Every structure is written in structure tokens, then in C-alpha cells.
Amino acid sequence: MFRKMPFILMAIIAVILVLDPFISLPIKQGLYAISLSIKEIIIVVLPLVIFGLLFKASVTLSNGATRIIGMILILASCSNFISTFLSHYVGIWIYHFDLSMISPKTTSGLEPMWSLVLPKFIANDKAMFGGIILGIIASKICPEPARKFATMADQCISWLLRGFVYFIPLFVVGFVVKLQFDGVVGTIVKDYATIFALIAFAQFSYISFVYLVLNKGNVKSFANSIKNMLPAAISGFSTMSSAASMPLTIIGAQNNAKNKDLVHSVIPATVNIHLTGDCFAIPILAYAVLKSFGMAEPTLLNYLIFSLYFVLAKFSVAAIPGGGILVMLPILEGYLGFNAEMMSLITALYVLFDPVITCANVLGNGAFAKLIDRCNS
């Protein structure tokens, strides 16, 4: 279903634009209330998801604590941080574009039919650090039970998030109705087409530069490296899944490497944690959304704090389409001040742009594998 999700969301937006005059106020209020309720459930559940996935990552890395695994972990974190930090400057540039502002209505706007408020049991930062620390401790004290619990948690979380994929249209539709009611959907469509193009340009320019550096500036070797990765990149674009494209990624990366056995280990270990496309797309989209809603530009210190949590959260991204944005919603809310409408908007924009994001992730993983190969040659 997720492969069709961008088309489903585009169809939803088109239908709402056409049928808006014929949708009664109670139906709009009900759809908006459903979206807010789903958002509330996501915010409550995601800390547990983050804890479980980081616990599994810690157990896995601790059990295989070799020099190679340690180097992969450090370099993947550094690579994600560099990509995220560079996207800050693209985001600032976009923030100063003459984007149409989404101004609040003088009236109260669309009100939900009901309001669901759930208690939040654990903060996201505590869930992150708790998953890492307890995973490392458990793997040392009782490794076998820790592995079993990590596997069980991973299976449960994958089932939960795969189920949520089917609720994404319902999650988005209420907020689209709300934005249309406030008269801002046209603004979004007009502004974000250009931003998508700029994000793609930033992603692939950076990835091309990395490949060029890894090939020591040799244009012929650079072109050959990109050529070897094209089948995997096309697969990522069409399937919107780095995991589904992993076999082709391994083949392409092996063709670009000297130590082919090493690459065969690197790609599976980093396919869900080294996400160059996400590191550019999500922060840049966040800046655009902040500008559109009239929110203040983050200071460099605020963005650095956001970047650190953003990079850490990459280790809790689930191996499902759309997982990249789902686990980032609490980070965006907590450190960039996103509200419910902004979170829904960036989710919809991410899903619409996901083919390009995944393509960039796959190419970035190929470059990372070549980097590890170079470091060990």
C-alpha cells in the first residue's frame, strides 16, 4: 500500500479541494478530531518505539563490539550529523525566501468535534538514553535474554508501525481539511513545489561531492561508481524502501569496493541508520514549515541541540516506509516547536517526497560503504 501512498495523498488533497464546499461543518470537525486523536496516540506511543529500537541497536552493537562495528557506528553518526548540519544552511536560505505565510484566522478556525488527551508516561530524551544504556547493560549482564527481548520488541514495533501506515491517510486528511478551512492549502501547493526541487538538488549535490572525493577527484571513477549504484537508486525510488533495495545496494557497493566481504557486512548494518536523504529533507522541510506558519527561525544553538537528538533518533528508525519521519515527530515537536498541524503537514510532505528521499538514502549508503572500504584498505 505504501508504494501508492504519495498518489493517495495527492488524491486526498485534490478531492478535498474540489469537494470542500459540499462537506458539512460537522464532518470537517469530526475528521479534524480523528486526526488530532491519531496524533495524540502517536506522541504517547513513539517514546516506547524509540526505546525498543534503540535497545535492540545497543544490544546488537554491543554483542558485535569489534573495531569495524565501532568504526561503522562512529562514522555513521558523524556522516548523519554533517548532512544534518549542512541542511541547516540550506534551511536558513529557504527560510528567507518570500514564502506565503500561513496566518491565523481572526476567528477561532475549525474546532475539533472532540479532544483526546492522553497522559505521557516517558519523555522522548529519557526513552532514547534509557534504551541505549539499558541495552548495553543488559547485553553484558544477561546477553541471551537481552537478545530475545530485543528481537521480540523489534517484531512488535515493526507490526505496530506497519499497522500505522494504513492510518496515515486518515491522519493527514483531517489536517488538510483544517488547512483548507483556514484557506492555506493553495499556499502550500504553490510554495513547496520549488522547495522539493531545492531539497533534491542539495541531496544529490552533496552525495555527488562525496563520491567525487572518495574517488580522489577522478571523474571517470566517479561516473563508474554512480553507474554501479544506479540500479539500487532506481529501486529505492520505485519501492520507497532502503531495506527492499538492499540486495541491489550490496551488489553496487561491492562493485565499487576492494574488500567485498566488508561491504556485505556494512550495508545491512547501516541501511536503516545512515540516511543522508532524510538528514537533508526533514530539516529543510522543517525550516519551510516553520516559515510558513510564522514561527521564529531556530538559533544555531537550538539547531545544534536538535541535530544531536535527530542523529541519535536515526538509530531508532524502523525498517518500514515512512519510518524516517514517524520517529522524528517528537523531536520536531520538542526542539523546533512544531504543533499538530505542522507535524501533519511535514508528514504529508515527507511521504509525497519519499521516492526521492529513499533514492538519496540508497546512494548515500553506497558512498558510506565505499568510505568504510577506503578506511580499511
Look at 220 and 164; give whichever has higher pLDDT.
Answer: 220
Burial of 192 (0-12, 13-18, 19+ CB in 10 A): buried
Instruction: Report the 10 Å Cβ neighbour count for 102.
Output: 21
Fold of 2-375: Proton glutamate symport protein (1.10.3860)
Per-residue pLDDT band at 106 (split at 50, 70, 90): very low
pLDDT of residue 222: 95
Instruction: Report the 10 Å Cβ neighbour count for 1.
Output: 11
- Name the helix (H) or strand (E) containing 33: helix 25-63
- 184-193, 323-332, 361-370, range with the lowest pLDDT: 184-193
pLDDT of residue 65 exceeding 70, the answer is no
What is the average pLDDT score of the chain?
84
- Terminal C-alpha separation, the chain: 42
Q: What are the residue ranges spanned by the domains of the chain?
A: 2-375
The C-alpha cell 554501479 sits at 228
Look at 62 and 334; give whichever has higher pLDDT.
Answer: 334
Instruction: Report the 10 Å Cβ neighbour count for 125.
Output: 17
Judge if pTM exceeds 0.85. no
| pLDDT tens string 186-228 | 667 777 888 999 999 999 999 999 999 999 999 999 999 999 9
Burial of 157 (0-12, 13-18, 19+ CB in 10 A): buried
pLDDT of residue 10 exceeding 50, the answer is yes
pLDDT of residue 247: 80
pLDDT of residue 69: 67
Look at 148 and 188; give whichever has higher pLDDT.
Answer: 148
Mean pLDDT of 110-131: 82
| pLDDT tens string 222-265 | 999 999 999 989 888 867 778 768 888 888 998 998 887 777 76
pLDDT of residue 12: 81
Looking at residue 4, its amino acid is K
Look at 301 and 326; give whichever has higher pLDDT.
Answer: 301
| pLDDT tens string 267-317 | 877 887 889 999 999 999 999 999 988 899 999 999 999 999 999 888 776
Contact 371, 263 (CB under 8 A): no
Per-residue pLDDT band at 321 (split at 50, 70, 90): low
Q: What is the per-residue DSSP string for 222-254?
A: HHHHHHHHHHHHHHHHHH--TTTTHHHHHHHHH
User: In the chain, where does DSSP find H-type helix?
Assistant: 5-19, 25-63, 67-95, 124-141, 143-165, 168-181, 185-214, 219-239, 246-255, 260-270, 276-292, 300-313, 323-326, 329-336, 340-375
Per-residue pLDDT band at 338 (split at 50, 70, 90): very high
- Rg (C-alpha) for the chain, rounded Å, is 21
Give the separation between CA 80 and CA 206, rounded to whole angstroms: 12
Look at 143 and 68; give whichever has higher pLDDT.
Answer: 143
Give the separation between CA 372 and CA 74, rounded to whole angstroms: 11
